[in-house]
Each structure stands twice: as structure tokens, then as C-alpha cells.
Amino acid sequence: MQRRQFVQTMGAGSAFGAMGLVSGCATMGTGGHGPKVVIVGAGYGGATAAKYIRMWSDQGIQVTLVDPNAAFISCPISNLVLSGVKTMADITTPYDNLVKRHGVRMVHDRVTTIDPEKRVVHLASGSELPYDRLILSPGVDFMWETLPGMAKPGAQDSVLHSWKAGPQTVALRKQLEAMPDGGVYALSIPLAPYRCPPGPYERACQVAHYFSKHKPKSKVLILDANDDVTSKGPLFKKAWAERYKGIIEYRPKHNVVDVDAATKTLKFEFNDDVQAQVLNVIPAMRAGDIAVKTGLATANKRWCEVDWLTFESKAAKNIHVLGDAIQVAPLMPKSGHMANQHGKTCAAAVVALLTGKEVNTLPIYNNTCYSFVSDEDVVHVASVHRYDAEKKTMLTVPGSGGVSVAASELEGRYALAWAHNIWADTLA
């Protein structure tokens, strides 16, 4: 980020305006009062934790939120940008309210290393952030090593994942617009667990919806490494059969093992190669780089194990991990909604731990995930998760949860209301 921008950001949280660079000292955040919490990653998990720690500590705990992105761009609803139903502006929210309303100090920078012994975060700019407790909400990064061809120069610029909403969302939309009618869009899905289980199937619906209106001779080919649709299967299959017959083809048990970006070819473990005009490869994923680098990804070297009451890492004291980066509990999806719930559970625990209060012994929270099967009709899956003291994990409450009976326009309205509410709960 640029220095001028940084100084403005610092000035915006008036209480902290006199700190940091002005003194010429490389260590930031040594001024102010109260315990210091540093949060890395301002997505659904990190931003929610930042807001709720400030709120629930009556602004008594200093919170510094680090993220290189200038604004929050939502993954949920981003598939609707691919179909042209929504714009990037619709899914973008500034971080202003976290700073102005809640006094969160926003630092637009990248974390290079973490020193758990000294409890210091090092930033790319050369600055340091000391902490009493650190919260990592780094999301996912991709296991590019599983797709050797993607290491070739330019491969990652032409074969997109668009699994982190942002520039790749815009770029994939452009590829779909540029594709001639009669072309094939091939979407590959990695083995579970991955971020947003129903997301790829919703994406297939959105691209098919766009094709049905503008390029009716084109095809959507879903190449799924899993044995079957991993979420809302019957509802998606009904949508494909009834709404997108002749456009969407679903092929399970298609595990991509390499990509030739030059010839736009996918290679599989067991199946014949597939060539398409637009390739959209969602690679296998793991916890974000900084969590792996800090030694927190203890489950299969992919995901971070946490204590479910506090979200404290099982590998490092005073470091908490949230969101898609964690080793999930049984039947718990990697979703923005769930990351927001992690954020609040962790916020309550961190406030309790830093103020000498008792940590809640019975967390209960829910997940609700809406998928658009057209521009207006939506299906959901919902679940309620409760702490099990004996098993020391979160379990779904027997008899709770479920899916839609059928896709409906009413749920379409609820889905958009959900988006506006969770964006406000996370960021406003």
C-alpha cells in the first residue's frame, strides 16, 4: 500500500492518530490503552471478530485488523456477477464503519511472519505489531503443487479459479462474455473439504442461466472429483434437469490432476482429457499461507485444529484461528456464514480471557446457505451446531436443519436480505 493511504488510515481512528510512523519507530500500536488484539484477514471471520471484540469489550480492547485488500468483496453472491445478474459494486463493502463506528485500526498490509514467542506480527512494510492475542482468519490458499501445469508462466492468468471474489471474478465474467456461442465452459471441483460446498454447483447454474439467455448453443460441463454432488444434490440436479436441460452436463468422479493452459485441456486421474473454450479450475485448498507457515496446519498439513470454546490453536498459545482455515467439526461447512459465527464465538472468548471472565461453555450457532439456481430462485441448506462437552467438538443438534422443499422466489428474496444482513453484521 502507499504511504499516504496508510497515514490516512491511521488518522481515521483518531485515538491512534499519533501513533506509529510519526515517532519514527518501526513498532506500531505501542500507544493507547488496554490489551492488544491483532487480527489477520478481514473477511467474514476476521472482520466480525474485530467488530464484536470492540463492541463486547466496550472499546476496552485495542483491535488492529490487517488485510491487503482496500475493501471487502463477498464470495457469497459473487456467482451472480458471473451471470451478469449482479455487479462487483453490489458485492463490495468498504471497511469504513469498522474504523469510524467501532474504532478498529485498519492496516492495509500483508503479514510476512509471526513470532509466537515474542508475540509479534511482522508486516511486508517492515512494521511490527505486538499482540496479547492474535486472531488469524486467513481463508484458504490453493495447493498448486497438485496441478503441475499451473506453474507455467501465464497459466494462472488464463485458467482462473475465481474462488476468491475479486479481480478473478471480473476476469472470468469477461472470458464468458468473450466465448463464442456453441463453446464449452468446463468447471472442475476438487475433493471435499473445500470452501463453500454448494458454491460450484450454484456457479454452474449461474453460467447456464447466462448461456440460456445469451448463448443458447453453449454448454456447461461440471467435472467433479467427488462421487456425487456434495451439497443440496437433489435440488441442484432437479434445477439442471428442468431449467438447463441440454446445457449442463454433470460428470462425477473426475479428479483433475493436471492442466494444460496453452491448449485449454484438463487431465484426470482416471478419465479422458477434456478440452474446453473456458476452463474454470477450482484447485484443492488448504489453510491460508500464513497459518501453514506459522506451523498451525496440524491436520493433514492442510487445516488448523482449534479448541472449539475459544478458537485458540492447538499448536500455539495466544493464537486463534477462524473460518475456512480450520479443521472443521463434523458436518460443519466452510462458509462465510460459519466464519462469521466463528468470529463472534472467538470474540466473546477473547474478551473473557483478556478481562478475567469465564469463557462460555456452551456455544450454539447455525449455518444458513442460500444458492441461486436462476436469477431469482433459490434453495438453502441450514444446520444448528452445539458444543459437546464430552467429545470437545461442535455437533449438529439432532432433528435440526435441512434443505428447501423446492427452489423459490421467496427464498431468493431471503437470500439477498441474508446477504445485506450478514454484510452489516460483519462490517457495519
Partner 1 sequence: VDQRGFRVVDVPKPGENMKSLKCLPAALLLSGLMGAAGAQAQAVDPLQARSWAAACANCHGTNGQAQPGMEALAGANKDDIAKKMLDFKNGRKPATVMHQIAKGYSDDQIHAIAAYFAAQKK
How far is Cα 173 from Cα 368, in angstroms, rounded to an integer?
A: 27
CB of 17 to partner 1, least distance (A): 27
Asked whether 265 and 159 are in contact (CB, 8 A), the reply is no
CB of 135 to partner 1, least distance (A): 16
> What residue type is assigned to position 64 of the chain?
T
Nearer to partner 1, 268 or 308 (CB): 308
How far is Cα 63 from Cα 66, in angstroms, rounded to an integer?
A: 10
CB of 252 to partner 1, least distance (A): 27
Nearer to partner 1, 60 or 130 (CB): 60
E strand or H helix at 350: helix 336-355
Nearer to partner 1, 234 or 402 (CB): 402
Residue 126 per-residue DSSP state: S
> What residue type is assigned to position 416 of the chain?
L
Asked, as a colleague might, if the bond just before 193 is cis with ω within 30 of 0, I would say: yes
How far is Cα 213 from Cα 240, in angstroms, rounded to an integer?
A: 15
CB of 416 to partner 1, least distance (A): 7
Nearer to partner 1, 41 or 343 (CB): 343
Torsion sign (Cα): 238, 243, 249, 255: negative
CB of 283 to partner 1, least distance (A): 28
Nearer to partner 1, 300 or 361 (CB): 361
The torsion defined by the Cα of 36, 140, 364 and 357, in degrees rounded to 10, comes to -10
Mention every residue, 6+ apart, whose C-beta is less than 8 A from residue 81. Answer: 87, 88, 90, 91, 165, 169, 170, 173
- Collapsing DSSP states into helix, strand and coil, what is residue 83? coil
How far is Cα 26 from Cα 124, in angstroms, rounded to an integer?
A: 12
Nearer to partner 1, 59 or 366 (CB): 366
Residues that bind partner 1 (CB under 8 A): 51-52, 55-56, 337, 340-341, 344-345, 348, 352, 357-358, 360-366, 368, 380, 382-386, 396-397, 399-402, 404, 408, 410-411, 413-414, 416-418, 420-422, 424-425, 428
Asked whether 1 and 108 are in contact (CB, 8 A), the reply is yes
- Collapsing DSSP states into helix, strand and coil, what is residue 114? strand
CB of 381 to partner 1, least distance (A): 9
Nearer to partner 1, 259 or 369 (CB): 369
If we measure between CA atoms, which residue out of 108, 16, 6, 3 comes closest to residue 54?
16
CB of 356 to partner 1, least distance (A): 13
If we measure between CA atoms, which residue out of 92, 65, 272 comes closest to residue 169?
92
Strands 36-40 and 62-66: parallel
CB of 298 to partner 1, least distance (A): 26
Nearer to partner 1, 7 or 395 (CB): 395
How far is Cα 420 from Cα 413, in angstroms, rounded to an integer?
A: 11
> What residue type is assigned to position 135 of the chain?
I
> What residue type is assigned to position 298 of the chain?
T
Nearer to partner 1, 207 or 407 (CB): 407
CB of 255 to partner 1, least distance (A): 33
> Three cell numbers at 227?
462421487
CB of 50 to partner 1, least distance (A): 13
Q: Helices 44-56 and 336-355 meet at what angle, rounded to 10?
A: 30
Nearer to partner 1, 24 or 399 (CB): 399
Placement of cell 459465527 in the chain: 341
CB of 427 to partner 1, least distance (A): 10
Nearer to partner 1, 257 or 382 (CB): 382
How far is Cα 137 from Cα 236, in angstroms, rounded to an integer?
A: 30
